[in-house]
């Protein structure tokens, strides 16, 4: 699979950061949720509140970015083709199956029972129409990366006004064939496209001009959905309120009303305590580290840590920072201490892209140990060869990441102790990623989730001359390409071991730690389990305890 172009690559990343300002649909009001809390507060026992800690960027699935908050809030109405469950297995959602025999042609079978809430069947034409709109240059969705398919330009879009894509065709009423330009593993197709293509109704939107779809009012209160819930009202900075889709083809939801509420991290503990919050998804609600123990001890609440999938990762510009200095940074940071003392053990230390949650994780990639003396020696070698000992490296961090802001000061001191001077520059996430994409910083730290079942899309652009790290290694490129040619887990694991060992040696990035994010669920809610993946796959089966 070929690499993403620089322009395309940065478009994807910046979209993830800037989607908050590119909503595309106007808010339907600023309804106060203080009277819309859980049944224990209102007398209505059939309302459930889900808490998140960031605003929702858009409710228009055609503008959806790669952030989980946007994806899952949209997927309640418009199902993905498949989704990962808590066991990291792909589970059918709108599609009953996705198969390939040659890693080029992918056959998607839409569930025979799938229907829109207005009674119209969901068809192959709906899926083809949706993909065509995702590839529209007028909608300019930079997250779908459809350049991989025949008939789509290398920029990810079709010609303006195009009415078909040669690589995405309906074979019959319920079957669509996707044809890739180059080999792609089934896992990559499922993870990169199956989980993110949210099918919309052609019979309603087919005659709407492409240019109008980005701000089309219909998305404010859709009249036909194929998911378990239908949006009723919203204020993207505060809440989204859904009602049950009684015609949901997998079964009518048992919960009448569902609210997604945007809550300050400092208020999560209070909300769980008072019963105003019923469910905390671990990767969408950033619980303050100091509240972990209190939440775990709350009566009437079950708290659990999700799988370790989110890396607190430091990306280092290989063109600006000497390799020995990069190696010294890795040796100088006491990552085990950070996890045990500053994170209360809620994390793990690995090198490279794979955490222990991945089926491809190798115990042979032993994380580099804290070794300040070795770090000092590496710095001395670099200085002897001309590295400026007084050079102050700029370290950009996310100002909104409260926990890491404190940890960054510890890392700065540890680097200073071995002779590496740094200046910490907190930035909002959008500005941080803009600086990273234009290579305007020496190094930066951001939370990043590499899909445990398929880190290929992330690794294959991060480790490029044009990517965040400006790093390139032919052996790494070859190993990553090989992951797309086989389905054998052992073979894929061997390929990723090559990648992770190269990252460990050359240090274009450092996984400072992998977070085990805390999730929680109220005891009044049955069949609901917070986890890194799969939390909402069976949301129609959630119910209030009798």
Q: How far is CA 168 from the centre of its chain?
A: 25
Average pLDDT for residues 288-317, to the nearest whole number?
93
Q: How far is CA 496 from the centre of its chain?
A: 20
Instruction: Using alpha carbons, select from 187, 198, 176, 186 the residue that is nearest to residue 65.
Output: 198
* Least confidently predicted of 28-37, 114-123, 306-315, 343-352: 28-37
E-strand stretches of 25-158: 47-52, 82-84, 90-92, 95-100, 105-110
Distance CA 361, CA 181 (A): 29
DSSP characters over 367-426: PPPP-HHHHHHHHHHHHHTT--TT-EEEEEEETT-HHHHHHHHHHHHHHHHTT-EEEEEE
Distance CA 322, CA 384 (A): 12
* Least confidently predicted of 163-172, 346-355, 483-492: 483-492
Question: Which band of pLDDT confidence, cut at 50, 70 and 90, is reported for residue 67?
Answer: confident
Backbone torsions φ then ψ of 37, nearest 5 degrees: -85, -170
Instruction: Using alpha carbons, select from 154, 122, 110, 116 the residue that is nearest to residue 135.
Output: 154
Compute the mean pLDDT over every residue in the chain, rounded to the nearest whole number.
90
Q: pLDDT value at position 301?
A: 97
Instruction: Reduce the DSSP state of residue 1 to 3 states and report it.
Output: coil
How big is the chain by its Cα radius of gyration, in Å?
Answer: 23
* Least confidently predicted of 20-34, 61-75, 178-192, 236-250: 20-34
pLDDT digits 0-9 by tens, 205-231: 999 999 999 999 999 999 999 999 999
- Show the 3-state SS of 202-221: HHHHCCCCHHHHCCCHHHHC
Assigned token pair, 282: 């671990």
CA-based max dimension of the chain = 74
Distance CA 76, CA 207 (A): 24
Instruction: Please determine, for residue 336, whether its predicted confidence score (pLDDT) is greater than 80.
Output: yes
List all residues 6 or more positions away from 510 whose beta carbon is below 8 Å from its beta carbon. Answer: 313, 314, 316, 329, 330, 333, 351
Question: What are the residue ranges spanned by the domains of the chain?
Answer: 6-223+521-544, 310-515
Distance CA 278, CA 265 (A): 15
Q: pLDDT value at position 437?
A: 87
pLDDT digits 0-9 by tens, 495-524: 999 999 999 999 999 999 999 889 999 999
pLDDT digits 0-9 by tens, 425-448: 999 887 888 899 889 889 999 988
The model's pTM: 0.83
Q: Answer whether CATH 3.60.20.10 is correct for domain 310-515.
A: no
Assigned token pair, 440: 């305007």
Average pLDDT for residues 45-62, to the nearest whole number?
91
Assigned token pair, 346: 């809620």
Cα separation values, 346 from 119, 246, 305, 402, Å: 47, 40, 8, 16
Assigned token pair, 222: 């859709």
Distance CA 546, CA 544 (A): 6
Distance CA 324, CA 61 (A): 45
Q: pLDDT value at position 31?
A: 34
Other beta carbons within 10 Å of 345: 11
Instruction: Please determine, for residue 6, whether its predicted confidence score (pLDDT) is greater than 50.
Output: no
Q: Tell which wins on pLDDT, 184 or 3.
A: 184
DSSP characters over 183-199: ---HHHHIIIIITT-B-
Instruction: Please determine, for residue 16, whether its predicted confidence score (pLDDT) is greater than 70.
Output: no
List all residues 6 or more positions away from 461 whose beta carbon is below 8 Å from its beta carbon. Answer: 3, 4, 9, 467
* CATH code that applies to domain 6-223+521-544: 3.90.76.10
Instruction: Using alpha carbons, select from 512, 400, 433, 471 the residue that is nearest to residue 13.
Output: 433
Instruction: Please determine, for residue 458, whether its predicted confidence score (pLDDT) is greater than 50.
Output: yes
Q: Tell which wins on pLDDT, 23 or 268.
A: 268
């Amino acid at each position: 699979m070929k690499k993403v172009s620089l322009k395309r690559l940065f478009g994807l990343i910046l979209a993830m950061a800037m989607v908050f300002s590119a909503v595309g649909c106007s808010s339907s009001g600023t309804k106060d949720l203080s009277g819309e809390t859980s049944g224990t507060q209102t007398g209505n026992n059939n309302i459930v509140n889900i808490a998140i800690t960031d605003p929702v960027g858009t409710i228009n699935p055609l503008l959806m970015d790669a952030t989980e908050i946007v994806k899952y809030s949209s997927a309640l109405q418009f199902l993905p083709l498949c989704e990962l469950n808590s066991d990291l297995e792909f589970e059918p959602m709108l599609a009953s199956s996705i198969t390939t025999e040659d890693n080029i042609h992918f056959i998607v079978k839409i569930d025979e029972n799938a229907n829109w809430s207005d009674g119209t069947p969901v068809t192959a034409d709906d899926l083809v129409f949706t993909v065509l709109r995702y590839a529209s240059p007028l909608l300019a969705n930079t997250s779908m990366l459809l350049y991989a398919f025949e008939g789509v330009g290398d920029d990810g879009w079709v010609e303006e006004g195009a009415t078909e894509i040669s690589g995405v065709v309906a074979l019959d009423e319920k079957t669509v064939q996707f044809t890739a330009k180059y080999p792609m593993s089934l896992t990559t197709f499922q993870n990169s496209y199956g989980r993110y293509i949210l099918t919309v109704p052609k019979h309603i939107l087919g005659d709407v001009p492409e240019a109008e779809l980005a701000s089309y009012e219909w998305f404010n209160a859709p009249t036909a959905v194929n998911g378990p819930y239908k949006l009723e009202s919203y204020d993207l900075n505060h809440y989204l309120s859904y009602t049950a889709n009684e015609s949901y083809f997998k079964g009518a939801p048992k919960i009448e009303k569902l609210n997604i509420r945007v809550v300050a991290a400092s208020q999560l503990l209070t909300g769980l305590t008072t019963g105003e919050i019923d469910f905390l998804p671990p990767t969408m609600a950033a619980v303050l580290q100091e509240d972990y123990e209190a939440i775990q001890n709350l009566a009437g609440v079950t708290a659990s840590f999700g799988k370790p999938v989110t890396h607190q990762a430091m990306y280092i510009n290989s063109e600006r920072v000497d390799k020995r200095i990069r190696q010294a940074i890795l040796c100088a940071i006491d990552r085990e201490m950070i996890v045990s003392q500053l994170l209360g053990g809620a994390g793990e230390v690995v090198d490279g892209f794979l955490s222990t949650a991945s089926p491809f994780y190798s115990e042979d990639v032993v994380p580099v140990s804290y070794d300040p003396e070795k770090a000092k020696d590496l710095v001395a070698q670099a200085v002897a060869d001309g590295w400026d000992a007084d050079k102050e490296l700029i370290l950009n961090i996310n100002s909104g990441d409260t926990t890491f802001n404190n940890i960054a000061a510890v890392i700065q001191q540890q680097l200073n102790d071995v002779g590496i001077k740094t200046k910490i520059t907190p930035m909002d996430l959008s500005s941080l990623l803009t600086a990273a994409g234009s290579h305007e910083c020496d190094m930066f730290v951001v939370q990043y989730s590499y899909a445990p079942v398929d880190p290929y899309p992330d690794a294959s652009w991060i480790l490029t001359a044009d990517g965040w790290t400006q790093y390139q290694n032919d052996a790494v490129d070859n190993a990553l390409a090989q992951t797309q040619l086989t389905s054998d887990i052992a073979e894929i694991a061997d390929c990723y071991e090559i990648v992770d060992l190269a990252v460990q040696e050359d240090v274009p990035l450092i996984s400072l730690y992998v977070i085990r994010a805390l999730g929680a669920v109220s005891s009044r809610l049955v069949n609901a389990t917070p986890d890194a993946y799969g939390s909402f796959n069976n949301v129609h089966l959630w119910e209030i305890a009798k």
